[in-house]
């Protein structure tokens, strides 16, 4: 009888040791996962590239830009209409307007692409000096009647007209006839 009691004590002792070992292992794994998650969150995010600015995110993007540190030459304040109307696909727009305000630091030019076809521009502007504007724009490629979602890509250029940075803006072109 004493052997059975001793055997039960040894078995329960082994079970207790196994439970403690498993518990310790689980705690170590849990601490490892927590440490991994904390270290992963501390990594710095990569800067955003070529964010398309449209009416729904303009305030958010402006807030992000305000919170960023001042960047010397190369910044750009876009002054333009974001919906352009054309009576026909080959006529001048009666409300297209793009200005390079005098406070900007660089001259600019821009290219316009259909949103789904960014390999072929439908318009390529001349360089717009600071303090100048462009209106009565005629597209280089005639479009069919309808509403066309487009991307306008500004190129900020240096004195040698080399691109120093770009800015992407959503644009809607409406061809009426």
Are residue 86 and residue 6 in the same domain, yes or no? no
Task: CATH number of the domain at 113, please.
Answer: 2.60.40.2550
Are residue 71 and residue 26 in the same domain, yes or no? no
Res 51: pLDDT:
60
Domain that holds residue 107: 52-175
Are residue 91 and residue 7 in the same domain, yes or no? no
Res 49: pLDDT:
52
Are residue 108 and residue 170 in the same domain, yes or no? yes
Are residue 83 and residue 155 in the same domain, yes or no? yes
- Count how many domains the chain has: 2
Environment class of 8 (CB within 10 Å of its CB; exposed 0-12, middle 13-18, buried 19+): exposed
Which stretch of 15-29, 68-82, 95-109 has the lowest confidence by average pLDDT?
Answer: 68-82
% residues pLDDT > 70 (the chain):
79
Q: How far apart are CA 122 and CA 2, in angstroms?
A: 96
Interval 130-144 mean pLDDT: 94
Are residue 30 and residue 114 in the same domain, yes or no? no
Are residue 30 and residue 57 in the same domain, yes or no? no
For tokens 């692409």, name the residue.
113
User: For the whole model, what pTM was predicted?
Assistant: 0.59
Higher-confidence position of 73 and 168: 168
Are residue 78 and residue 114 in the same domain, yes or no? yes
Are residue 62 and residue 148 in the same domain, yes or no? yes
Are residue 62 and residue 98 in the same domain, yes or no? yes
Environment class of 51 (CB within 10 Å of its CB; exposed 0-12, middle 13-18, buried 19+): middle
Work out the pLDDT band at 176, boundaries 50, 70, 90. Answer: very high
Q: How far apart are CA 115 and CA 155, in angstroms?
A: 17
pLDDT at residue 47 tops 60: no
Are residue 146 and residue 114 in the same domain, yes or no? yes
């Amino acid at each position: 009888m004493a052997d059975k009691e001793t055997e039960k004590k040894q078995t329960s002792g082994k079970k207790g040791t196994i439970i403690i070992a498993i518990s310790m292992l689980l705690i170590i794994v849990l601490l490892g996962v927590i440490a991994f998650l904390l270290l992963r969150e501390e990594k710095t995010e990569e800067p955003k590239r070529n964010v398309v600015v449209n009416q729904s995110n303009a305030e958010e993007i402006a807030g992000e830009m305000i919170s960023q540190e001042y960047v010397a030459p190369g910044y750009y304040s876009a002054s333009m209409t974001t919906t352009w109307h054309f009576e026909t696909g080959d006529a001048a727009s009666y409300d297209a307007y793009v200005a390079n305000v005098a406070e900007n630091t660089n001259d600019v030019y821009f290219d316009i692409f259909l949103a789904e076809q960014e390999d072929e521009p439908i318009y390529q502007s001349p360089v717009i000096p600071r303090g100048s504007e462009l209106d009565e724009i005629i597209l280089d490629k005639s479009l069919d009647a309808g509403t066309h979602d487009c991307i306008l890509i500004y190129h900020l250029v240096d004195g040698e007209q080399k691109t120093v940075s770009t800015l992407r803006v959503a644009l809607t072109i409406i061809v009426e006839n």
